[in-house]
Structure 1
Amino acid sequence: MSLSLKCIATILILAIAKLSRCDIPECKYEETIDISDYNKFNDTFVNEDLEIPANLTGEYHFRVLQDGTKEWVSKHLRACICKVRPCIRICCARKNVLPNGECNDGLQKEISLRILNLTFDDIITLDPNITELRKMPQYNHTKLIVLREYFQPCDELIGLKTDEYTMLKDGSILLHSTAEILSNDQYCLFPHTYSDFPKILWFVNRMCATRYVPGTFDITIISLICLILTITVYLYVKKLRNLLGKCLISCLFCMTMDYLIWTLNHLSLLYSICTLVGYSKYFFSMASYLWSAVISYYLRKLFTSLNRHEPRNAFKKYSAFVWGTAAVPTGIIYLMNQISGDDPQKRFIAPFVGVIRCTIQDWGSSNWIFFNVPILILTTFSSIMFVLTAIHIWKVKREVKRFAQQNERSRPSLDIDIQTYLQFLRLFVIMGVFWILDKIMGMVEDFHYLLGTIYLDIPVYLNSGFGIIIFVILILKGSTLELLMNR
Structure 2
Amino acid sequence: MRVNSLVLSCMIYLLKFCHFTSADIPNCAFEDTVELKKTHKQSNDSYVYEGVLVPAHMRGYYDYVELFNGVRTNVPKHLRGCVCQLKRCVKFCCSSGIPLFRPTKKAPVECDVDKKEYSPLVNITLPDSSRVVMNVLDKFVVQQGIPCGDGYMLLPHLYEEDQWELYENGTIVRKLDNLPRSRRDYCLTVFNSPLATKFELFPLYCDKVDAFGTIKISTTCMMISAPFLYLTILIYWVVPKLWNLHSKCLICYLLSLAIGTTLIVVINMSTSEYPIAVCATMGFFAYYFLLAVFFWLNVICFDLWQIFRGNISNIGHMSEAQRFRYYSLYAWGLPAVMTVITVGLQYSNLPAELQSGIGDTHCWLNTEEWSAMLYFYGPCLILILSNIAMFYSTVRRIYNIRREVQKLTQDDYTLRRMRGHQNNTWLFFRLFILMGITWLLETFNYLAGDWTGYEYLNAILNAVNALQGIIVFALLVMKKKVLLLIKRVICESIGKYRKRKTPTITTGNLNRPPIEGDEPHIQK
Shorter-chain TM range is: 0.5 to 0.7
Give the counterpart of 1:284 among 289, 296, 299: 289
Looking at structure 2, the residues matched to 22 and 446 of structure 1 have their Cα atoms a distance apart, in angstroms, of: 46
Instruction: Specify the alignment match of 1:329 in structure 2.
Output: 338
| TM-score (norm. length: structure 1) | 0.62
Which residue identity does 2:121 align to in structure 1? Answer: D
Change (3 A) 1:453 1:249: same
1:91/1:149 contact within 8 Å kept: no
Q: Which amino acid aligns with 2:185?
A: Q
The offset of 1:465, in angstroms, is 2.0
Tell me what 2:233 maps to.
231
Report how far residue 246 of structure 1 moved. 2.3
How is 1:46-61 mapped onto 2 (pairs within 5 angstroms)? none
Q: Distance in 2 between matches of 1:57 and 1:112?
A: 30
The one-letter code sitting in structure 2 at the alignment partner of 1:315 is: F
Corresponding residue for residue 186 of structure 1: 185
- Tell me how far apart the structure 2 counterparts of residues 220 and 313 of structure 1 sit (CA, whole Å): 34
**Matching residue of 1:376:** 381
Residue of structure 2 equivalent to 1:121: 121
Rate the CA distance shift 1:131–1:261 in 2: closer, same or farther, 3 A: same
Of 156, 161, 167, which aligns to 1:159? Answer: 156
Q: Aligned letter for 1:87?
A: C
- Aligned ranges for residues 288-327 of structure 1 at < 5 Å? 288-303=293-308, 310-327=319-336
Alignment correspondent of 1:473: 475
For 2:290 and 2:428, how far apart are their aligned partners in 1?
20
Question: Greater shift after overlay, 172-181 or 220-229?
Answer: 172-181
Deviations 1:364-415 (A, max 9, x none): 43122112221111111222222222223223333455689x89x9xxx9xx
Q: Quick one: structure 1 residues 288 and 196, their matched pair in 2 at CA, closer, same or farther if it must change by over 3 Å?
A: farther
Cα distance in 2 for residues equivalent to 1:217 and 1:295: 27
User: Does residue 1:387 correspond to 2:392, yes or no?
Assistant: yes
Partner of 1:256: 258
Matches within 5 A, 1:162-173: none
SS in 1 for 2:358: coil
**2:208 is aligned with 1:208:** yes
Total equivalences in the alignment:
409
Mapped pair 1:443 → 2:452: no
Name the CA shift for 1:185/1:427 in 2 (closer, same or farther; >3 Å).
same
**How far is the alpha carbon of 1:79 from its aligned partner?**
9.2
**Alignment map for 1:239-254 (pairs within 5 Å):** 239-254=241-256
Change (3 A) 1:129 1:109: same
For structure 1, the 5+ residue unaligned runs are 1-20, 33-54, 71-75
What SS does structure 2 have at the residue aligned with 1:114?
coil
Q: Among the aligned pairs, what percent are the same residue?
A: 19
Change beyond 3 A, Cα 1:310–1:177? closer
Shift of 1:120: 2.1
The residue number in structure 2 matching 1:338 is 347
How many Å separate the matches in 1 of 2:150 and 2:330? 37
Higher relative contact order (Cα pairs below 8 Å, separated by 6+ residues): 1
Query: Structure 1 residue 291: deviation in Å?
Result: 1.0
Q: Return the offset for 1:232.
A: 0.9
**Alpha-carbon distance in 1 for matches of 2:361, 2:80:** 25
* Residues 352/144 of structure 1: CA separation in 2 closer, same or farther (3 Å cut): farther
Letter paired with 1:366:
S
Change in 2 beyond 3 A, CA 1:471/1:69: farther
1:92–1:148 Cα contact (<8 Å) kept: no
Instruction: Please say which of residues 348-357 and 180-189 is displaced more in the overlay.
Output: 180-189
Amino acid at match of 1:395: N
**3-state SS in 1 of match to 2:347:** helix
In structure 1, what is the equivalent of residue 10 of structure 2?
none
Shift in CA distance, 484/289, structure 1 to aligned 2, threshold 3 Å: same
Match of 1:359 among 364, 383, 387: 364
> Which whole-Å CA distance do the structure 2 matches of 1:444 and 1:322 have between them?
26
Determine if contact 1:237/1:483 at 8 Å carries over to the other structure: yes
8 A Cα contact 2:298 2:383, kept in partner: yes
Query: How far off its partner does 1:259 sit?
Result: 1.9
Q: What's the counterpart of residue 488 of structure 2? A: 486
Aligned amino acid, residue 382 of structure 2 = I
How far has the Cα of 1:479 moved from its partner?
2.9
Letter of the aligned partner of 1:208 in structure 2? K
Aligned mates of 1:284, 1:66 — CA distance in 2: 36
Structure 1 residue 229: deviation in Å? 0.8
What corresponds to 1:18 in structure 2?
none
Q: Which residue identity lines up with residue 443 of structure 1 in the other structure?
A: F
Q: CA deviation at 1:455?
A: 5.3
Which amino acid counterpart does residue 286 of structure 1 have in structure 2? L
Give the gaps of 5 or more residues in structure 2.
Answer: 1-20, 36-59, 82-90, 490-524
8 Å contact kept, 1:227–1:468: yes
The 1:207/1:325 distance shift into structure 2, 3 A limit, reads: same
- Pairing 1:451-462 to 2, within 5 Å after superposition: 451-452=453-454, 456=458, 458-462=460-464
Q: Distance in 1 between matches of 2:317 and 2:356?
A: 44
- The alignment yields a C-alpha RMSD, in angstroms, of 5.6
The answer to whether residue 402 in structure 2 is matched with residue 397 in structure 1 is yes
- Residue type of the partner of 1:159? P
Residues 17-50 of structure 1, C-alpha deviations (whole Å, 9 max, x = no match):
xxxx99999879xx99xxxxxxxxxxxxxxxxxx
Instruction: Tell me, yes or no, if the aligned pair for 2:346 and 2:356 is still in contact at 8 Å.
Output: yes
CA displacement, residues 302-329 of structure 1 (integer Å, 9 cap, x when unaligned): 4556968634444333333223311233
Q: 1:337 to 1:212 in 2, by over 3 A?
A: farther
Contact map agreement 1:380 1:436 (CA 8 A) in 2:
no
Structure with bigger gyration radius? 2
